[in-house]
Amino acid sequence: MAFRNNGTLVQTANKIDVTANGNSDVYSGADQNDGKGGAYAFIIADGAVGDDTFVSFGGDDTIITGKKIFDGNGDGYIAFGDNAILDVDRTSSKNAGEDQISVLGNGGDRVTVIRYLGTKDGGFAYADAGTRDALLGHFASGFESSTAVGDSSVAGQIRHIDNDVGNNSYDFSGTSVALLTDNALGLNFGGDTIDGFGTDDLLIFTSKLYDSDNDNIVTFGGNKILDLSGAGGPLSSDPSQGPGGQFDVNNPNKTQVYYLGEKNIDGTNYYYYGAAANISLDGVQIAL
């Protein structure tokens, strides 16, 4: 079956427009309890925005730019300078650009590293690097690692993948996989096809999937597509709208996944799903 249109990048996050006014403004990602969860997308306009400050920037917040931020070593992580400032317009190691952004976390501590999550809808997405690293381990580059050492809950999986916002095709056959989709960010992670999803694989989310009867079995829609929740999920509207994106799980075709449990790691909740209900939550494969 065909996917719906998953082309909108910022789906359920609260949008904060960082305007190109040349001033030194302060923008806050504090939760307003408006039904969209605590997710905020700081959307930086093209042009001279000034030396701005983002406060209350949490693990469920994103920075969206109109052009890709310079990544000197191409590892997918953007490390701020020694002054803890993000040179959002940097074009080379020698040209910092015009605008510098200070990013402060919920406790007032400076955020100094963000990770790249891909591009669509005219925007380039960045989020807290710790959400990936705490679960999957630190990647050498890109969106996948077979060497990163993460949390004990994914110790049984060889391939660790951090899903990006594009439309991806994954083949899980032949090895064990842990796929993280950071849907608590309120972004749409695209229409992804997954082949070879087996009992040694894990689908992990930061926003729980909607389960209509709370029996820990998430049934796909009539189109045999898994609709992902967004920042405010799980909501009863998720199966019809799929604000976090969609999964088509094939070869063999799947029409349901089993909720295995959740784990809080460094302040982030991770929700685990598998192809079978009898995967141990206390064993080697998953140690929640």
- Render pLDDT for 157-177 as a digit per residue (tens, 0 to 9): 999 999 999 999 999 999 999
Within 13 Å and on the Cβ side, how many CA atoms surround 173?
9
| Lowest model confidence (mean pLDDT) among 40-44, 54-58, 275-279 | 275-279
Question: Alpha-carbon torsion 164, 208, 36, 130, what sign?
Answer: negative
Confidence of residue 106 (pLDDT cuts 50, 70, 90): confident
Domain boundary at 78, 110, 128, which? 128
Mean pLDDT of the chain: 92
Domain boundary at 108, 128, 148, which? 128
Span 85-99, average pLDDT: 89
Span 223-239, average pLDDT: 95
SS3 (DSSP) at 39: coil
Residue 1 within any structural domain of the chain: no
Nearest to 13 by CA among 212, 139, 165, 115: 165
| Lowest model confidence (mean pLDDT) among 113-117, 192-196, 200-204, 277-281 | 277-281
Asked whether residue 103 falls in the same domain as residue 207, the answer is: no
Asked whether residue 21 falls in the same domain as residue 85, the answer is: yes
Asked whether residue 136 falls in the same domain as residue 209, the answer is: yes
Q: What is the pLDDT of residues 197-210, one digit of tens each?
A: 999 999 999 999 99
Looking at the DSSP bridge assignments, the partners of residue 100 are 87
Residue 121 within any structural domain of the chain: yes
Residue 223 within any structural domain of the chain: yes
Asked whether residue 84 falls in the same domain as residue 193, the answer is: no
- Whole domain around residue 58: which residue ranges? 14-128
Q: Print the SS3 string covering 215-265.
A: CCEEECCCCCCEECCCCCCCCCCHHHHCCCCEEEEECCCCCEEEEEEEEEE
Domain boundary at 128, 155, 185, which? 128
Asked whether residue 148 falls in the same domain as residue 239, the answer is: yes
Asked whether residue 165 falls in the same domain as residue 258, the answer is: yes
| Most confident range, picked from 8-22, 24-38, 78-92 | 8-22
Asked whether residue 100 falls in the same domain as residue 183, the answer is: no
Task: Say yes or no to pLDDT of 34 above 60.
Answer: no
Give the residue ranges of DSSP H helices in the chain.
129-136, 238-241
Residue 284 within any structural domain of the chain: no
Span 1-7, average pLDDT: 87
Residue 279 within any structural domain of the chain: no
Asked whether residue 254 falls in the same domain as residue 138, the answer is: yes
SS3 (DSSP) at 153: helix
Asked whether residue 135 falls in the same domain as residue 110, the answer is: no
Number of domains present in the structure of the chain: 2
Residue 285 within any structural domain of the chain: no
